[in-house]
Amino acid sequence: MKYAGIYIHIPFCAIKCMYCDFYSIADREDSIPKFIEAIIKEIEQCEIDISEWIFDTIFIGGGTPSLIQEDHMDSILSCLNKKYDLSNLKELTIEANPGEAPKDRLKAFNSMGINRISIGVQSFQPELLKFLTRIHDRDQIFETYDNARSAGFNNINCDLIYSIPGQIWSHWNNDLATIMRMDPEHISAYTLTAEKGTDLFSMVSNYDISMPSKDQESDWFTRTHAILSKNGYEAYEVSNFSKPGLECLHNLHYWNIEPYLAFGPSAHGYDGRYRWNNARSLDQYIERVMSGNSPMSMKEEITLLDHINEKIGFGMRMIKGIDLDMIPNKFQKKLKNNIKIIEQKYPDHIQVSDKNFTFTQKGMLFADQLIPEILL
């Protein structure tokens, strides 16, 4: 038996943020009832063999799932409970944005068994929220957080972003101090990235704005890790910090290359042999499901080498790194050689012991650039 998760993608948003490359759509609230009907049908007709799986996590992401009415959310969760054995569920997360998660709705969600909430704070600075095209303000952050606590949530994550054009250290230092006073169980602190296809990418490409320098990003990354660690938030992945024992279990399924089902438009799934993703269009998704067809737009078989490279790629983004014992013998020589090359080229970026490879803190900052050189 192996532990597994379920991902539900709810794509609706009040506004499309300028930096977001996840599939989300604004001004389509009229499509929500049809979407709910379609995702329930997708769950009901799923035929993936899960006989050897134990579901212990569900993650409801988006989009902004907290926009969904209570009865619609209850319908989705009831369908999952009828379809699958969820008696071993430990963590059921929902994403929410400040100002878009009414107190009564949060209470209803918590009563349905949703026991973890991830709040998209991003920044406490009005001018930076405006730049990021976020529509909430500082007061709504505190209100939504307090509402979540009073609704019964004792496991809260807060997302923050740094390396924003125009952001100065005092802004970011104040954001960290403020979030730590709020005392969530988990903090995700991401560097802003100009992803292709986003408005931010276009602005950078057209030289309308420039991103902070790599030196500044490196400095802030190091100081951020030190501040959070000093205050009881230990890094367990490049951008994720938690109090002891409160890591996001669902994300660990992804990073440990464990199986998970995925439902909704653009959702990605993995069953140990195949990876797939659904249509990245709400209309296409609904049309395919309601006509009795699979919503998948891509499905590929993962080779042994693919699987090993995924273990290496995701494993090296985690603080614990990768153990040589998890790599089949026939691949170990090549991996050791790649690691040795990295050691020689970047001596202060990687830490090597007999059975384990990890990035140093400096190496973590450059993980996206270094990992391709390690892969087999």
Map residue 26 onto helix, strand or coil. Answer: strand
Q: Decide if domain 2-255 falls under CATH 3.20.20.70.
A: yes
* Token digits of residue 52: 């050897």
| AA identity, residue 274 | Y
pLDDT at position 278 is 98
* Token digits of residue 24: 């989300």
pLDDT at position 3 is 98
pLDDT at position 58 is 98
* Token digits of residue 5: 């998760």
Instruction: Spell out the long-range contacts of 229-238 with Cβ–Cβ below 8 A and sequence spacing 24 or more.
Output: 231/180, 233/180, 233/186, 233/187, 234/319, 235/319, 236/318, 236/319, 236/320, 237/317, 237/318, 237/319, 238/317, 238/364, 238/367
Map residue 357 onto helix, strand or coil. Answer: strand
Instruction: Spell out the long-range contacts of 225-233 with Cβ–Cβ below 8 A and sequence spacing 24 or more.
Output: 225/361, 227/173, 227/176, 228/176, 228/180, 228/187, 228/189, 231/180, 233/180, 233/186, 233/187
pLDDT at position 347 is 87
Q: What is the pLDDT along the chain (376 residues), one digit of tens a residue?
A: 999 999 999 999 999 999 999 999 999 999 999 999 999 999 999 999 999 999 999 999 999 999 999 999 999 999 999 999 999 999 999 999 999 999 999 999 999 999 999 999 999 999 999 999 999 999 999 999 999 999 999 999 999 999 999 999 999 999 999 999 999 999 999 999 999 999 999 999 999 999 999 999 999 999 999 999 999 999 999 999 999 999 999 999 999 999 999 999 999 999 999 999 999 999 999 999 999 999 999 999 999 999 999 999 999 999 999 998 989 999 999 999 999 999 999 989 999 988 899 999 889 989 999 999 999 9
CB atoms inside a 10 Å sphere around CB 200 = 26
pLDDT at position 353 is 87
pLDDT at position 376 is 94
Q: Report domain extents, the chain.
A: 2-255, 321-374
- Tell me the torsion sign for CA atoms 174, 164, 236, 359: negative
Tokens 């993936």 locate to 48
**What is the residue-wise DSSP string for 118-145?**
EEEEE-S-HHHHHHTT----HHHHHHHH
Sort 11 into a burial class: Cβ within 10 Å, 0-12 / 13-18 / 19+.
buried
pLDDT at position 59 is 98
